[in-house]
Amino acid sequence: MQYKKVSHVLFDLDGLLLDSETLYTEAFTTVCAKYNKTFTWELKASLLGFQGHECAEKIVKTLDLPITKEEFMKECFKIYEVLFPKVQLMPGARKLVEHLHKKGVPIALATSSSKDSVDMKMQNHKYLLNLFHHLTMGSSDPEVTKGKPDPAIFLVCASRFPDKPKPENCLVFEDAVNGVKAACAANMQVVVVPDPRIDSTLLQDATVVLKSLEDFEPQLFGLPAYD
Ligand SMILES: [Mg+2]
């Protein structure tokens, strides 16, 4: 397959640059267990890419928890405060973001998380956040009306580069099926680095599927190669 050249790159955060999905799973599992409910992988997979309140709503509804989504979020937040300061970057994340930044490729963050959540998770990785031209944080951004798989977040994020690139000139990095769908709906190419448990037939629309960010070859998309 021939890939189209791109000029701008948009990054998802959770599960792509940051090994945070395991921590969300831990928090959701703990809160659900408190009400004698099991937080399954199938439910987890269906939530990837959702905004915080969308996750809470779906979990409370699917497992019929005897609490409101606001209460669920509050209980999770207490666990996040303990877990998130320790979150690690995914293999290859720092190298890729630093490389594109150094070579002058415009890059931005397009995450479904809120600003507060990003601040908490990135407190030990602030250096990396400073390399992005801008941060689009869906859960706290009034212009991002819907979470992934809706394309809003990627379209809003691309529109905030000063030269306003066309969607087809943007490359998205994602780890989730909902993220791949959102990128495709935005008419952008998408590199996906999925959790290995994700059914590969759900990733057919991705431009490239990689095992690790370390395997990405920028020159395939007309971006500067590693030195
Ligand atoms: Mg993600």
**Domain segments of the chain: what residues?**
8-19+87-221, 21-84
Catalytic residue among 14, 141, 150, 175: 14
Counting residues of the chain whose pLDDT is more than 70, the rounded percentage is 100
| Residue 122 Cα to ligand 1 middle (Å) | 15
HSE-up (13 A, CA, CB side) for residue 223: 25
Ligand 1 mean position, distance from CA 82 (Å): 21
CB 168 within 8 Å of CB 190: no
pLDDT band at 48 (very low <50, low <70, confident <90, very high): confident
The answer for residues whose C-beta is within 8 angstroms of residue 100's C-beta and 6 or more apart is: 9, 107, 218, 223, 224
Rounded mean pLDDT of 99-103?
A: 98
Contact by Cβ (8 Å): 36, 9: no
Confidence class for position 2, pLDDT limits 50, 70, 90 = confident
Report yes or no: 148 and 60 within 8 Å, Cβ to Cβ.
Answer: no
Write out pLDDT tens, residues 134-177. 999 998 999 998 999 999 999 999 999 999 999 999 999 999 99
Helix, strand, or coil (residue 89)? strand
* Fold category of 8-19+87-221 in CATH: Rossmann fold (3.40.50)
Model-wide pTM > 0.75: yes
Cβ–Cβ under 8 Å, residues 139 and 113: yes
Q: Distance, CA 219 to ligand 1 centroid (Å)?
A: 24
Instruction: Let me know if the fold of 8-19+87-221 is the same as that of 21-84.
Output: no
Distance 2 CA to ligand 1 centre (A): 26
Q: Which residues surround ligand 1, an ion (CB under 5 A)?
A: 12, 14-16, 175-176
**Span 172-199, pLDDT tens digits:** 999 999 999 999 999 999 999 999 999 9
Distance 172 CA to ligand 1 centre (A): 11
Question: 47 with 58: CB under 8 angstroms?
Answer: yes
3-state secondary structure of 209: strand
- CATH ID of 21-84, from 2.60.120.620, 3.40.470.10, 3.90.25.10, 1.10.150.240: 1.10.150.240
Catalytic residue among 12, 141, 150, 175: 12
- Residue 26: predicted pLDDT: 96
DSSP state of 220: G
Rounded to 5 degrees, what are φ and ψ at 194?
Answer: -85, 160
At 54, is the secondary structure helix, strand, or coil? Answer: helix
Question: What is the H or E stretch that residue 184 is in?
Answer: helix 177-185
**In 3-state terms, what secondary structure has residue 75?**
helix
Residue 89's beta-bridge partner residues? 18
Active site residue 141: no
Structure tokens of 50? 């959702």
CA of 148 to the centre of ligand 1 (A): 10
12 catalytic per annotation = yes
Residue 1 pLDDT exceeds 70:
no
Q: Where are the beta strands (DSSP E) in the chain?
A: 8-11, 107-111, 134-137, 170-174, 189-192, 208-209
Contact 17, 97 (CB under 8 A): yes
